[in-house]
Chain A
Amino acid sequence: MNMLKPLAGAFFCLALAACGGTAGDGAGNSAASNAAASGDAPEPDRRTIGEALAESADHAAFLRSLQSAGLIETFRGAGPYTVFAPTNAAFDALPEDVRARLDSADERERLIGLLSYHVVPGTVTVEDMTGAITRGEGGRAELATVTGTSLSLSRDGEAIVIEDGAGGRARVTGADQVHSNGVVHSIDTVLMPAS
């Protein structure tokens, strides 16, 4: 992992450049709020979500968890999935005991449940989420994850805020990272299902 960091850095810049665009299917441009590198037409990102996470320095902890849970193959496969990917800072912010529990082999079942709680079927962009929030009652919308339980969406100014089953809140900080088998949104807090 360490020797990948410089490489990851290089790819990260490349990823940013590609992120302003689409997956190349002719759909309209996404309401991307992350930094686009320049005014050039961005290249469509042909990497899968799994490949992109592997090359993303800011998601190293998330990637490690996915590998530990045996979920990494899913994000190299067909999909499409929408993934809310907590950043390294989000994992660091977890209480020590929670993090230790997640790492142990006995808790793999719990880890799979936790990580699945960050995955939504289909491709949901920020624009789609905003549309649902606007339509929804009281400015909220529900987003079903692949575990069957839902996340609650709302807006805080320009940003999308996600409320999880345990009452925690996460903010989408890097939206609409589109890849060949779905889209990734970076979030600043690890989502916790109601236990």
Chain B
Amino acid sequence: MRRMMLLIGAAALAATIPAIAQDQGRGGGRGQGRAADAQKGGGQGQGRAERGRGAERQAARAEPKGRGKSDDRGGAQRAGRQDERERRVERAIGQERRAAAEARRGRPDRVDDRQLARRDDRRDWRGWAGRSLVRRDRLVGDRIDFRALRSRGLAVGPGGCPPGLARQNAFCMPPGQLRKARFIGQRLPLFGLPYNVPARYRYRFGDNDRFIYRYGDGIVYRFDRGSGLVSSVIPLASTGLFPGEPLPLGYDVYNVPLAYRSYYPDTRDYLYRYDSGSIYRVNPGNGLIDGIVAMTTGGVGGLGGLGVGDPLPLGYDAYNMPLAYRDRYYDRNDAWYRYADGNVYQVDPQTRLIESVISTLV
């Protein structure tokens, strides 16, 4: 029975467009299992999550028989163009994979349990594999050779998990993050919808020619424009960062607001990341967030995010100037002064509009 499934799977491979393996049946998006993609090679540069252990298991779980085109994306033309491109690429890779799979059948390889998905975004990998880029000669086909990495002192940890993360599951992720990250490498209907990121996060998540961002249920999903697959998941509801937890996906880039950068630069001892109005400190050695070092108002609709001509928001009735500046900036009949996030805001008391902004941070 299994051999038959394997054969069918192999046939499906040739005919099917590139797919992403399902995770244990719970995949959030509507991906397609690629039956004969036995040892789930690695990311394809398209952020695909590949899991599973043996050819047999893969075949059993897959939904084969050429589910021709993905029918869950808006835009038939877009789907068509991508299918073409993907099909071509996949065919080339598929052959190499099949050969490798044959060779490895029967020898489940623990290396492949890892989530090799996000290779399209080298920054993600830098987080896991130290600061150096993974070089081409370290790749086996399109997979990253973890044995080679480990021998060079990168990607260390039991089972190859990044430092600081015990192998709790096949993805070396804390359960909270796993819940959100399982969409990586999947297709989601969100991809076809118009831009819908909430206004206050638009400064962070703007569509560009590589990625588009769509929002759903407190989470921002980053899609690779070319493949239409999710390449990163950034939770928004409350914050995505918690002291005591590892720095999640999507926060690998230094993003501290400009006004604070001289106070909180990334150093060898500490990294700093901004989210929803707070600046978090990260221990780069173990990748854990160890605390909040500053709270600003800008990220939550407060005064700190505003500029000349904006109205003074609710809640700034009281004079709140730091003592050191009170000699210079005091309320008068024709001007009020309010402080937020390192800036002094001069406000017209009648119109309550901000007339000027003076920075106090060097």
| Distance (whole angstroms) from the CB of A93 to the closest CB of chain B | 26
Determine if A108 and B314 form an interchain contact, defined as CB atoms under 8 angstroms apart: no
Q: Counting chain A CB atoms within 10 Å of each CB, which of B302, B322, B326 scores highest?
A: B322
Distance in Å from the Cβ of A185 to the closest Cβ of chain B? Answer: 12
Residue in contact with B324 in the complex, picked from A25, A77, A145, A153, CB distance below 8 Å? A25
B322 touches A80 (CB 8 A): yes
Q: Are A73 and B293 in contact (CB under 8 A)?
A: yes
Judging by beta carbons under 8 Å apart, are B294 and A74 in contact?
A: yes
**Contact indicator B319/A74 (Cβ below 8 Å):** no
What's the Cα separation between A74 and B296 when bound, in Å? 11
Check A92 for interface membership: any CB of B closer than 8 A.
Answer: no
* Residues of B contacting A23 in the complex (Cβ-Cβ under 8 angstroms): 323-324
Which residues does chain A contribute within 8 Å of B287, judged by CB atoms?
Answer: none
**Is the CB–CB distance between B317 and A121 below 8 Å?**
no
Q: Give every chain B residue within 8 A of A141 (Cβ-Cβ).
A: 317-318
Q: Once the chains bind, are B319 and A148 in contact (CB under 8 Å)?
A: no
Q: Which size class do A's interface residues fall under?
A: 35 or more
- Of A26, A73, A182, most buried by chain B (CB within 10 Å of CB) is A73
Choose one: B238, B297, B320; the contact of A82 (CB below 8 Å).
B320
Q: Find out whether the CB atom of B238 lies under 8 angstroms from the CB atom of A122.
A: no
A112 to chain B, nearest CB (A): 7
CB–CB A22/B323 < 8 A: yes
Q: CB-nearest residue of chain B relative to A116?
A: B295
Q: Is B21 engaged at the interface, CB distance under 8 Å to the other chain?
A: no
Interface-facing stretch out of B151-159, B224-232, B335-343: B335-343
Docked CA distance A77–B289 (Å): 17
> A142: CB under 8 A from chain B?
yes
Any B CB within 8 A of the CB of A98:
no
Contacts of B303 in A (CB 8 A): 121, 144
Q: Assess whether A120 is interfacial by the CB under 8 Å rule.
A: yes
Is residue A102 contacting chain B, with contact meaning CB distance below 8 A? no
In the complex, how many angstroms separate the beta carbon of A82 from the nearest chain B beta carbon?
A: 7
Nearest CB on A from B330, distance (A): 10
Residues of chain B within 8 A (CB-CB) of A82 are 320
Are B318 and A121 closer than 8 Å at their CB atoms?
no
B296 & A73 in contact (Cβ 8 Å cutoff): no
Q: B295–A119 contact, CB under 8 A? A: yes
Instruction: Tell me whether A74 and B315 are in contact in the complex, defined as CB-CB below 8 angstroms, given that A25-B323, A27-B323, A108-B242 are known contacts.
Output: no
| With contact pairs A22-B323, A146-B300 given, residues A71 and B292 touching in the complex (Cβ less than 8 Å) | yes
Give the distance in Å from the alpha carbon of A122 to the alpha carbon of B242 in the complex: 24
Which residues of chain B have C-beta atoms less than 8 A from A112's C-beta?
A: 238-239, 242-243, 292
Are the CB atoms of A143 and B318 closer together than 8 Å? Answer: yes
A105 nearest CB across to chain B (Å): 7
- Tell yes or no: A16 within 8 A of B by CB: no
17 sample A-B contacts, Cβ–Cβ < 8 Å, listed by A number? A23-B324, A27-B327, A70-B242, A70-B291, A74-B292, A78-B294, A81-B295, A108-B244, A120-B320, A121-B304, A121-B320, A136-B317, A142-B314, A143-B315, A143-B317, A146-B297, A148-B297
Extra contacts besides A27-B327, A146-B295, A151-B315 (8): CB < 8 Å: A70-B289, A70-B291, A71-B292, A80-B323, A121-B339, A123-B339, A144-B315, A146-B296
